[in-house]
Amino acid sequence: MERENWTSRLGFILAASGSAIGLGNIWRFPFITGTNGGAIFILIYLAAILFIGYPILVSEMSLGRITAKNPIGAFKKMAPDTAWPLVGALGVLSGFVILSYYSVVAGWGMSYIFKSLSFTAESNFPAIFLGHISSFTEPIIWHGIFMFLTIAVIGAGVVNGIQKLVKVLMPILFVIIFLLIIRSVTLEGAAAGLSFYLKPDFSAIDFQTFADAISQAFFTLSLGMGAMITYGSYLSKKESISESAGYVLIFDTAVALLAGFAIFPAVFAFGLDPASGPGLTFITLPAVFTQMPFGTFFSFIFFLLLTIAALTSSISMLEVVVAFLVDEYEWKRKKASYLMGFLIFLIGIPPLLGYSSFSNFSFLGMDVLDTYDWFSNSIFLPTGGILTSIFVGHIWGSRNAVKEANKNSRFKIGNIYSILLKYIVPTAVLFIMLFNIYQTI
Ligand code: PHE
């Protein structure tokens, strides 16, 4: 079968932005910013996105487009009979692991679309959240529904599935974010949240801040696991990569920053704690919503937003796995989607049970979901990113990558990109990865 192509540059940009914009922007970014001192974290994060994220993003897209292959196939084509395809294999493995728990969290979010309709100011939000995640039936049903949606989109194909979905959902996502921001900043007492968000607190910076900023840059741009190699492999030669990657970077950053604008003013307006960590979305925000005018409506659209963002990301993870089986083993797309999607659903059951049956599990003090997350974010993605930047920078050659990325571009990249890719990116990411491992062990 002929390999599919996005039918337009917009289709590609929306799909790649959809992959990038996800739980990482709406759930993770606000709470990491909240616990890392607000605005100062944002500055460091922006530097990480620009100097580390952009070079890897361009490299992955270029490698994908020139080979027109899945991550394993791409490395195989560029460096046959070497160990490099293992980098692609690590990406496919990351696809399995990340999607399995990502879907569990997305399932929590989806259940809150409906649950939150009956919340009142008297509800005990920590108890509701803990009760939800430590039960079995509800979370597994939502995890199943979410995986099923992901499978159905990927089974339908690149153009008829992914592209069609993102063309409808991405505009909705932007509209919802703007509605939420207008609500949040017009609350009485919102100013304190804005100043927390926008005034840098220099005393909050330490090495960990840099480590968190770089990990967040990886996760939010979907880097290090070949998702952007795969999406790039469906991009026509007529389109510019240096520019498309720029748009993806801008959209992704905009949504993360806007999520902060929607959340912090409201949290401060009701005197709640911005540094409440991962519970910010599921414990603090529902409390905020019950106290504001039209809160039920805003709560409904907030969790809808979370679900939409998660779905346009989860499909890119499954696509990595499916593209591999379709390209290399000539599996039918539908068969690959359903079988692998089901397998990923099963792999997600241990993290799902981590708050009930498996609550005795502990790896370096982490529950099952955090363990999956730690391996993916602290080991797999950075390792993938380091090796990809070394491969593109030194083996394929940054000059060749620049040529590919600049095709039909008005915005051209050159020496700065090459230097970043060849030396700065691998060194910085390796350093951060070792620091993270050392911190945890
Ligand atoms: N970028 C996505 C997010 O921010 C997560 C993701 C990681 C998607 C890796 C694909 C690959 O939620």
User: Residue 279 — very low, low, confident or very high, per pLDDT cuts 50/70/90?
Assistant: confident
CA of 29 to the centre of ligand 1 (A): 12
Among 7-21, 167-181, 283-297, 388-402, which is the least confidently predicted range? 283-297
| Structure confidence by residue, pLDDT tens digits, 41-77 | 999 999 999 999 999 999 999 999 999 999 999 999 9
- The per-residue pLDDT for 34 is 83
Quick one: tokens of 322?
């499916």
Share above pLDDT 70 across residues of the chain, in percent, rounded to a whole number: 100
Cβ 313 under 6 angstroms from ligand 1: yes
d(CA 428, CA 152): 39
* Residue whose CA lies nearest to ligand 1 atom number 11: 222
The reply to whether ligand 1 has any atom less than 6 angstroms from the CB of 25 is: yes
Two tokens, residue 177 = 């974010």
The model carries a pTM of 0.96
pLDDT attached to residue 440: 86
Contacts of 79 (CB under 8 A, 6+ apart): 85, 391, 395
With a 6 Å cutoff on the Cβ, whether 52 touches ligand 1 is no
Domains assigned to the chain: 9-440 (1.10.4160.10)
Question: What number is the average pLDDT over the span 385-412?
Answer: 97
| pLDDT reported for residue 1 | 62
pLDDT higher than threshold 90 for residue 365: no
Q: 316 in ligand 1 pocket by Cβ < 6 Å?
A: yes
pLDDT score of 276: 75
% of the chain exceeding 90 in pLDDT: 80
**Mean pLDDT of the residues in the chain:** 94
pLDDT tens across 204-259, in order? 888 889 999 999 999 999 999 999 999 999 999 999 999 999 999 999 999 999 99
Task: Say if ligand 1 is within 6 A of residue 312 CB.
Answer: no
